[in-house]
Every structure is written in C-alpha cells, then in structure tokens.
Amino acid sequence: MNTLGVEPAVTSWNDGEARFLDWTIDGVALRSMEPTQHQTPLFLDDERWRESAVETLSRLLGHLPGHFDDGRVALLMCPLCGDLGCGAYSVEVVLGEDWVEWRAFGWQYDYEPFDPSGEYKFTGARFDRKAYETLLGDLLSNYRA
C-alpha cells in the first residue's frame, strides 16, 4: 500500500504566488511527479478557495461525483481561477472495502473527454482506506471550520 499525505508548497506566476498543501504519495510531492504551476485547492492563506477545497475533498471521499462528466476528480488545477477549462491533473478514484485507489492520472479539460494515451510519470496508487479517510476527513474538518 502507498501512503497519502500533504505538505506545504508554493506556486508562482508573473505577478503572484500561492501557498497551499500539495498531495504526497510515499513522501513525494505530486507536483514533482508531473511538474506544473497548477495546485491543489487546499490553500493555506486564501479564503476564496475554501469552498473548492471542501468540494474536492468530498469528491475524493466519494461523497460527491467527480469534477468531470466521466467521474474523474481534479487533483491540481489552475492557480489563478481554478477553472477546469484551463486544464487539471485528474485521477480516477476507486473505493474498495478496505482500500482506495487513484489510477489513470492525467491532464484533462472540462470541454473534452480524457485522453489516456498521454505518457505520465505516475500511473496509480493504492491507499489503506481507513488512513485515507482519516487524512481527508481531518482536512475536510479544517476547511469547513
């Protein structure tokens, strides 16, 4: 089983920067696996993203449908607006009885179907469901507060 976590990260662009929590898998930051300026909605200092953080965490827990028509969930999105039309690094989330799998990682836009033919550095991870739900549940509580 893999280990899911979060760590503080920063992304920057021409006239700004954002601090947020990046996903880690076995201690390796997701953004380092697929280098990008995109970020999670788990902002550390911007209240405007609170609703997006709550929605994304709820989607990853299976409480809401995915961001995309095919059920995939956006892990990394545009740091300026969060618009899925700007592209998002997305994943298929599969919930098992005692595990959760993130598979078929890849870039996706909300106006076209996911193209699995891209070459991605990371293809999938399987997490212990109890540890996964504990981490995401704690994050969800923090962003709801």
Q: Where are the beta strands (DSSP E) in the chain?
A: 4-13, 16-25, 28-29, 73-76, 88-95, 99-108, 124-128
User: Six-digit token pair at 145?
Assistant: 């507060």
Residue-level pLDDT at 114? 84
What pLDDT score does 33 carry? 82
φ, ψ for residue 69, nearest 5 deg? -55, -30
pLDDT at 119: 63
pTM (predicted TM-score): 0.93
Name residues whose C-beta falls within 8 Å of residue 120's C-beta, 6 or more positions apart in sequence: 34, 105, 106
* 3-state secondary structure (DSSP) of residue 144: helix
Residues 1 and 127 sit within 8 Å (Cβ to Cβ): yes
Number of domains in the chain: 1
* Local confidence pLDDT in tens for the 145 residues of the chain: 999 999 999 988 777 888 999 999 999 999 888 778 889 999 988 888 899 999 999 999 999 999 999 999 999 998 888 899 999 999 999 999 999 999 999 889 998 888 877 666 667 899 999 999 999 999 999 999 8
Evaluate whether 60 touches 30 at the Cβ level (below 8 Å).
Answer: no
Dist CA 42 CA 4 (whole Å): 15
pLDDT of residue 37: 84
**CA count, 13 A, side-chain hemisphere, 87:** 7
Domain containing 90 equals 4-144
d(CA 83, CA 97): 33
Identify the pLDDT of residue 32: 85
Give the model's pLDDT for residue 21. Answer: 96
